[in-house]
Amino acid sequence: MAKKTALITGCSTGIGKLAAKTFHDRGWNVVATMRSPEKESELTQLDDVLVTRLDVTDGESIREAVDAALERFGAIHVVVNNAARGGHALLEQSTDAMTRDMYDTNVFGTMNVCRAVLPHMRRQKEGTIINVTSMAGMVGLPLETSYCGTKYAVEGMTEALAFELKPLGLRARTVAPGAYMRTDFTANANDEHFEAGGEDLAAYAKQLREHFRSSVSAEGGDTADPQEVADLIYACATEDRPVHNPVGNDAQLIMSMIGAPPRQEFLEKAEPLLLPKSQER
């Protein structure tokens, strides 16, 4: 049986790199993409791993990465859209440039990667797109107004995409991690606007941040193993999973507090309204 291939964005650190290793260790070809592949020294040592440049805000780099993947491995069976930008600030503190930068990466970048791979998946009549979102795509979090907006957008886009792809034999899923403080994502987030708006507003923002950090710590965010996120991404690629997949104690707590029936149950009920009975293509 031929090895399958996963293309993963944002592999330089954190969950992206863990996901690349997880797929590789379980016998997959991996296209590990990042903005600066020349800085990568670990993944380049692994067999059947292609490390190449992909900046989700640069359409040409997306096309080149997809072409390189197809030339090396002949197919792309799974795409993991993991690359993202974060930033902590009250909406009043957030600049237009900061917000647009997040949307360009988290939303439009994800869409652009999807557009680039979907024609290939349709031709091979097989493929799964996995979009890594966040607990911030399930509940509005103070200091995360822009980031929440992007992650809610990707959750909704993926849900719509899942309906579009089902008649074609393709799949779309989200993986929504809670706060995993052992990754580099928080350290890499843009906090340069956190002091904006004067002393009173900055003090209020700091108060909100400290409270959230203590809540995350109480739910195990400081010690939570991000490998469980990579494992769930792999499960979404290889198992019959629901469209939305939260992971982490805090994300699971939020879902239990919402108290609604599982989203997948609603989607299955809504499907006859949205898709024709005959789904053969």
Q: Tell me the pLDDT tens digit for each residue of 120-151.
A: 999 999 999 999 999 999 888 899 999 999 99
Q: What is the pLDDT of residue 260?
A: 57
- Structure tokens, 143: 């200091």
User: pLDDT at residue 270 above 80?
Assistant: yes
Check residues 138 and 28 and name the one with the higher pLDDT: 28
Residue 184 — very low, low, confident or very high, per pLDDT cuts 50/70/90? low
Q: What is the pLDDT of residue 185?
A: 47
Number of domains the chain is built from: 1
For residue 281, tell me if it sits in a domain: no
Q: What is the pLDDT of residue 187?
A: 46
Domain with 167 in it: what CATH number? Answer: 3.40.50.720
For residue 100, tell me if it sits in a domain: yes
User: pLDDT at residue 253 above 60?
Assistant: yes
For residue 143, tell me if it sits in a domain: yes
Q: What's the pLDDT tens digit per position in 61-116?
A: 999 999 999 999 999 999 999 999 998 899 999 999 999 999 999 999 999 999 99
How far apart are alpha carbons 271 and 200 in whole angstroms?
49
Residue 204 — very low, low, confident or very high, per pLDDT cuts 50/70/90? confident
User: pLDDT at residue 222 above 80?
Assistant: no
Q: What is the mean pLDDT of residues 244-257?
A: 85
For residue 279, tell me if it sits in a domain: no
Taking alpha carbons only, the member of 120, 161, 158 closest to residue 138 is 158
Range of the domain at 100: 5-274
For residue 280, tell me if it sits in a domain: no
Tell me which of 25-29, 103-107, 213-217 is least confident: 213-217
For residue 214, tell me if it sits in a domain: yes
Q: What pTM value is reported for the model?
A: 0.89
For residue 19, tell me if it sits in a domain: yes
- Structure tokens, 248: 């982490």
Q: What is the mean pLDDT of residues 177-196?
A: 65
| Cα–chain center distance at 137 | 11
Sheet bearing 78-81, strands edge to edge: 49-53, 29-34, 5-8, 78-81, 128-132, 171-177, 244-247
Q: Which residues are designated catalytic?
A: 147
Percent of the chain with pLDDT over 90: 70
